């Protein structure tokens, strides 16, 4: 993991968050997120590693997918909330309060993260090419791993 400074997450013209990353020894990292919008509303995702999140300002609702129970459970995080999440934790970040800030400690990532749709796992890059990034105003924009857009077929 390399250091990052104010990296936009999501579409360049409409990011859902900005991120700063400070690499730590043994592959760990500290990440500061400034959330501006919900993340993808159409699919749950996991992470490459476990993480601990601490809400510094604002708050959000974490929609947790419980496949064994066939339901979604909601966890409301507000200023001061601290949560441990495993890499296999399937969730969506929703109902983001304006200008929400979180500080996260991430473990040493061992795999790529994925989205989960209709009971199937789709690796991140394939998801963005096939389904696309969500736009906060609605609609989707399909992007290749290099950031180039996949133009709709006519």
> What's the pTM?
0.86
Q: How far is it, in rounded angstroms, from Cα 87 to Cα 50?
A: 4
End-to-end CA distance of the chain: 40
Residue by residue, pLDDT tens for the chain (154 residues) are 789 999 998 888 888 999 999 999 999 999 999 999 998 888 889 999 999 999 999 999 999 887 766 788 899 999 999 999 999 888 999 999 999 999 999 999 878 888 888 778 888 888 888 887 888 777 888 878 787 888 765 4
Residue 1 CA neighbour count, 13 Å, CB half: 25
Topology of the domain covering 4-124: Jelly Rolls (2.60.120)
Q: How many angstroms separate the CA atoms of 111 and 154, rounded?
A: 36
How many other CB atoms are found less than 10 A from the CB of residue 97?
15
Judging by beta carbons within 10 Å of its beta carbon (0-12, 13-18, 19+), is residue 55 exposed, middle or buried? buried
DSSP label of 97: P
């Amino acid at each position: 993991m390399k250091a990052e400074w104010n990296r936009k997450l999501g579409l360049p013209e409409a990011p859902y968050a900005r991120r700063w990353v400070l690499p730590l020894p043994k592959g760990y990292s500290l990440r500061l997120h400034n959330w501006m919008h919900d993340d993808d509303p159409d699919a749950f995702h996991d992470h490459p590693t476990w993480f601990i999140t601490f809400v510094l300002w604002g708050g959000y609702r974490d929609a947790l997918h419980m496949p064994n129970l066939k339901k979604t459970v909601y966890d409301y995080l507000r200023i001061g909330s601290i949560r441990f999440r495993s890499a296999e934790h399937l969730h969506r970040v929703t109902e983001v309060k304006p200008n929400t800030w979180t500080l996260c400690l991430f473990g040493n990532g061992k795999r790529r993260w994925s989205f989960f749709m209709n009971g199937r796992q789709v690796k991140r890059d394939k998801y963005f090419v096939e389904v696309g990034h969500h736009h906060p105003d609605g609609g989707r924009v399909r992007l290749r791993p290099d950031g180039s857009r996949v133009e709709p077929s006519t």
